[in-house]
């Protein structure tokens, strides 16, 4: 039997959203613009931010409110508790000065972090006495003090000890600040939060982080990320806080080296997305603890890739069509009113758009030949766009010609677009409605479906786009892998549906000298660098496409000698693979075969793969050899490769 939720736990209005000014780049004014534009209710103001500004605290407070934002917290106050004599008096005097500044700024909550003072003494009752006395000073001014356990605190590094201090201080103006990073980095069980009354939690800070073994302070100050971008169980943490009836702000506090140099607007948008997504996950997991956020459609279940559209022109479009023909695709349809060709094989639809107006044309003009649009088959296209918009994604629409369907779409990676097609609304009939059909036999060389799409982006964009996919769709991340390019490192992160219906690899390049980095520079922004097609029999497919004139990326003798040494494969199998330039890998489940095309102009390429017995990777160990060969080709053809 499910019991009704205690009425105190049902919020009538959503928890306020807030973000610490340290979380994003720019000067204070740029930060405020970006934070307000993203939709936040308030900010935590970091002392440094306004000390660096030329306005008085009163002017800065007004400027913040002029942006429609409230100051949810003033922070940080350090090294308060445990001092004696003059030092103790000085700490209280310092607090009084900060209370004055808070008055002028117009905020009533201040964060005190657990002490690191070399002269501070331990003892929970000593600390509780200090905070009780501070509470007496704060009360007449209407100020609330939120005490936070830093993971590297001298005596207090655990929220349970911070809570015990607050409990013993026993003062209405002294409460707790919970920060998911400090608690989760130390592996403290979130269930311990259930022992804290919601009204004694004065403030809530949220941050995620990748799991890396490292000193707490360094980890916290350089590697925090938005909830959902890292590996910490922030959802469990938030569920526990929600269950206490906490009703203060949910505030992001992200210290991250990359973010310090990022775009203020992009970071604020990602932060807002991460909070809405977190709230949605908590509301789904805890139906009796409602945080007051209007319910969103569930994360979209993806059935597969319906189409991939290239923007191209003239000779480049002809070249692409030739490559597709060699790969076994047929020219299966032609748009009734536009210069848009459908190429098909198995369940794969590739569209080549050579229009001279509209979105594809604009994409071609900026980026050259490349993927401008991906169509996904989903359970509910309209709900997908509703969810995406609630998460701050930008809807996309362009003029619809006579007889064309209106297909819901949003802006995606780089300046590309993503369309959503579903069965219930008949959108999957787009090919019959908008296209005239030419070839009907599309068996080709046995390519059956799109296995994965690889998007190349700058390393700094990877967290953002992985959050985009995992918050909108029912998709998860697999661990990041390093891809070694002879001229630098490329980091690769797969984002996948549980059943593999959609697999994406996000490749983050750091230098222009890598093959991926060169592609990024050459195509003026992030985009699809390669598409992998699946076959059930790679040997048969290869024979078929080689007969059609396809030339695989050639692999050196050394590669096959090494393969023979690494895996216990039959020499005949290795010989067969070598004859067709097939690469090989295995994981705990099964075997994997792959072949690459030679790089097209600009560095775009195709891959053919066969997964056996549930192999779940992407052949990462082969990447260095593949990249070296691709670079040899680019150089031999006089194409710039670095």
Ligand X SMILES: O=C(O)c1ccc(O)c(O)c1
Binding residues (CB under 5 A) for Mg ion: these are 179, 205, 253
Q: Which is nearer to ligand X, 44 or 422 (CB)?
A: 44
Among 41, 81, 130, 148, binds ligand X (CB under 6 A): 148
Report, in Å, the least distance between residue 180 CB and ligand X: 10
Gap between the Cα atoms of 147 and 143, Å rounded? 13
Token reading at 623: 């990447």
Report, in Å, the least distance between residue 310 CB and ligand X: 47
Report, in Å, the least distance between residue 477 CB and ligand X: 25
Report, in Å, the least distance between residue 48 CB and ligand X: 11
Site string for ligand X, 284-303 (x = CB under 6 A): --------------------
Gap between the Cα atoms of 370 and 602, Å rounded? 9
Gap between the Cα atoms of 469 and 475, Å rounded? 7
Confirm or deny that 199 is annotated as ligand binding.
no
List the single partner that 44 binds among Mg ion, ligand X, none, CB under 5 to 8 Å by kind. Answer: none
Residue 608: what are its φ and ψ, rounded to 5°? -120, 135
**C-alpha 13: how far from chain center:** 27
Q: Which is nearer to ligand X, 253 or 373 (CB)?
A: 253
Token reading at 406: 């209106």
**Sheet of 302-311, strand order:** 409-411, 417-421, 370-378, 302-311, 348-353, 340-345, 330-335, 435-437
Confirm or deny that 452 is annotated as ligand binding.
yes
Report, in Å, the least distance between residue 148 CB and ligand X: 5
| Residue whose structure tokens are 């909108």 | 472
List the single partner that 221 binds among ligand X, Mg ion, none, CB under 5 to 8 Å by kind. Answer: ligand X
Q: Which is nearer to Mg ion, 176 or 381 (CB)?
A: 176
Token reading at 180: 């998911």
The per-residue b/e assignment along 80-118, b for 16 or more CB within 10 angstroms, e otherwise, is bbbbeeeebeebeeebeebbebbbebbbbbbbbbbbeee
Confirm or deny that 70 is annotated as ligand binding.
no
List the single partner that 220 binds among Mg ion, ligand X, none, CB under 5 to 8 Å by kind. Answer: ligand X
Confirm or deny that 253 is annotated as ligand binding.
yes
Token reading at 79: 């090294």
Gap between the Cα atoms of 111 and 123, Å rounded? 21
Sign of CA dihedral 619, 620, 625, 631: positive
Q: Please list every residue from 37 through 76 that binds ligand X, using CB under 6 A.
A: 75-76
Report, in Å, the least distance between residue 111 CB and ligand X: 6
Report, in Å, the least distance between residue 76 CB and Mg ion: 8
Q: Please list every residue from 106 through 125 that binds ligand X, using CB under 6 A.
A: 111, 113
- Say whether 164 sits in a helix, a strand or coil: helix
List the single partner that 76 binds among ligand X, Mg ion, none, CB under 5 to 8 Å by kind. Answer: ligand X
Confirm or deny that 607 is annotated as ligand binding.
yes
Q: Give the chain's count of helices (H) and strands (E).
A: 21, 25
Residue 43: strand pairing partners: 19, 71
Site string for ligand X, 187-206 (x = CB under 6 A): ------------------x-
Site string for ligand X, 409-428 (x = CB under 6 A): --------------------
Q: Which is nearer to ligand X, 221 or 429 (CB)?
A: 221
The per-residue b/e assignment along 537-565, b for 16 or more CB within 10 angstroms, e otherwise, is ebbebbebbbeeebebbebeeebbeebbe
Residue 532: what are its φ and ψ, rounded to 5°? -110, 130
Tell me the CA distances in angstroms from 571 to 89, 512, 621, one per residue in order.
81, 39, 21
Site string for ligand X, 215-254 (x = CB under 6 A): -----xx-------------------------------x-
Confirm or deny that 125 is annotated as ligand binding.
no
Q: Does 516 bind ligand X (CB under 6 A)?
A: no
Report, in Å, the least distance between residue 179 CB and Mg ion: 4
| Residue whose structure tokens are 């935590």 | 44
Q: Does 607 bind ligand X (CB under 6 A)?
A: no
Report, in Å, the least distance between residue 611 CB and Mg ion: 44
Cis (ω within 30 of 0) for the bond into 571?
no
**Could you tell me how many residues of this chain bind ligand X (CB under 6 A)?**
11
Q: Which residue in 98, 84, 173 sits closest to 133, CA to CA? A: 173
Confirm or deny that 518 is annotated as ligand binding.
no
Site string for ligand X, 76-95 (x = CB under 6 A): x-------------------
Sign of CA dihedral 206, 210, 215, 219: negative
Sign of CA dihedral 268, 274, 278, 281: positive
Q: Which is nearer to ligand X, 78 or 642 (CB)?
A: 78
Q: Using CB under 6 A, list all residues that contact ligand X.
A: 75-76, 111, 113, 148, 150, 179, 205, 220-221, 253
Report the binding-site residues for a divalent metal cation. Answer: 148, 179, 205, 253
Report the binding-site residues for Mg(2+). Answer: 452, 530, 607
Report the binding-site residues. Answer: 148, 179, 205, 253, 452, 530, 607
């Amino acid at each position: 039997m499910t019991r009704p939720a205690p009425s105190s736990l049902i919020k009538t209005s959503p928890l306020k959203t807030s973000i610490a000014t340290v979380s994003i780049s720019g000067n204070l004014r740029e930060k405020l613009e970006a934070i307000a534009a993203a939709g936040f209710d308030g900010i935590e103001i970091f002392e440094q931010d306004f000390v660096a500004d030329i306005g008085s605290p009163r002017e800065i407070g007004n400027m913040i409110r002029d942006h429609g934002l409230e100051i949810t917290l003033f922070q940080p106050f350090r090294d308060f508790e445990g001092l004696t004599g003059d030092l103790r008096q000085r700490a209280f005097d310092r607090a009084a000065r900060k209370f004055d500044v808070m008055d002028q700024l117009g905020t009533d909550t201040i964060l005190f972090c657990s002490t690191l003072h070399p002269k501070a003494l331990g003892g929970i009752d000593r600390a509780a006495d200090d905070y009780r006395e501070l509470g007496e000073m704060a009360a007449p001014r209407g100020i609330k003090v939120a005490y936070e356990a830093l993971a590297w605190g001298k005596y207090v590094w655990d929220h349970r000890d911070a809570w015990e201090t607050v409990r013993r201080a026993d003062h209405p103006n002294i409460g707790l600040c919970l920060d998911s990073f400090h608690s989760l980095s130390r592996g403290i069980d979130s269930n311990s939060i259930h022992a804290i009354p919601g009204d004694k939690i004065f403030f809530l800070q949220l941050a995620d982080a990748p799991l890396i073994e490292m000193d707490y302070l360094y980890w916290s100050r350089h590697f925090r990320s938005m909830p959902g971008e890292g590996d910490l169980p922030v959802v469990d943490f938030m569920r526990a806080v929600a269950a206490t009836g906490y009703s203060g702000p949910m505030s992001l506090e992200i210290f991250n080296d990359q973010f310090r140099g990022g775009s203020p607007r992009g970071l604020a948008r990602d932060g807002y997305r991460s909070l809405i997504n977190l709230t949605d996950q908590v509301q789904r997991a805890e139906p009796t603890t409602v945080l007051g956020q209007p319910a969103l459609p569930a994360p979209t279940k993806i059935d597969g890739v319906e189409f991939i559209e290239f923007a191209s022109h003239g000779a480049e479009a002809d070249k692409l069509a030739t490559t597709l023909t060699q790969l076994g695709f047929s020219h299966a349809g032609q748009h009734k009113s536009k210069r848009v060709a459908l190429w098909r094989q198995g369940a794969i639809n590739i569209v080549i758009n050579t229009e001279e107006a509209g979105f594809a044309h604009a994409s071609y003009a900026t980026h050259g030949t490349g993927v401008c649009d991906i169509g996904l088959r989903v359970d509910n296209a309209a709900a997908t766009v509703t969810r995406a918009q609630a998460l701050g994604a930008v809807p996309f629409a362009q003029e619809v010609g006579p007889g064309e369907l209106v297909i819901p779409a949003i802006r995606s990676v780089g300046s590309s677009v993503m369309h959503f097609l579903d069965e219930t609304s008949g959108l999957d009939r787009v090919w019959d409605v908008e296209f005239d059909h030419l070839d009907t036999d599309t068996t080709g060389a046995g390519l059956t479906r799109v296995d994965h799409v690889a998007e190349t982006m700058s390393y700094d964009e990877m967290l953002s786009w992985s959050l985009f996919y995992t918050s909108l769709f029912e998709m998860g991340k697999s661990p990041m892998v390093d891809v070694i390019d002879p001229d630098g490192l490329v980091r690769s992160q797969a984002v996948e549906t549980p059943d593999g219906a959609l697999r994406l690899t996000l490749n983050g390049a750091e230098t222009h000298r890598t093959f991926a980095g060169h592609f990024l520079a050459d195509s003026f922004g992030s985009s699809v660098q390669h598409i992998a097609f699946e076959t059930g029999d790679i040997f048969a497919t290869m024979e078929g496409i080689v007969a059609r004139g396809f030339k695989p990326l050639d692999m050196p003798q050394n590669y096959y000698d090494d393969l023979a040494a690494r895996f216990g494969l039959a020499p005949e199998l290795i010989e067969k693979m070598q004859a067709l330039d097939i690469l090989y890998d295995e994981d705990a489940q099964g075997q994997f075969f792959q072949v690459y095309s030679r790089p097209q102009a600009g560095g775009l390429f195709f891959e053919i793969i066969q997964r056996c017995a549930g192999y779940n990777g992407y052949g990462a160990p082969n990447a260095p050899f593949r990249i070296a060969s691709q670079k040899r080709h680019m150089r031999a053809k006089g194409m710039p490769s670095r």
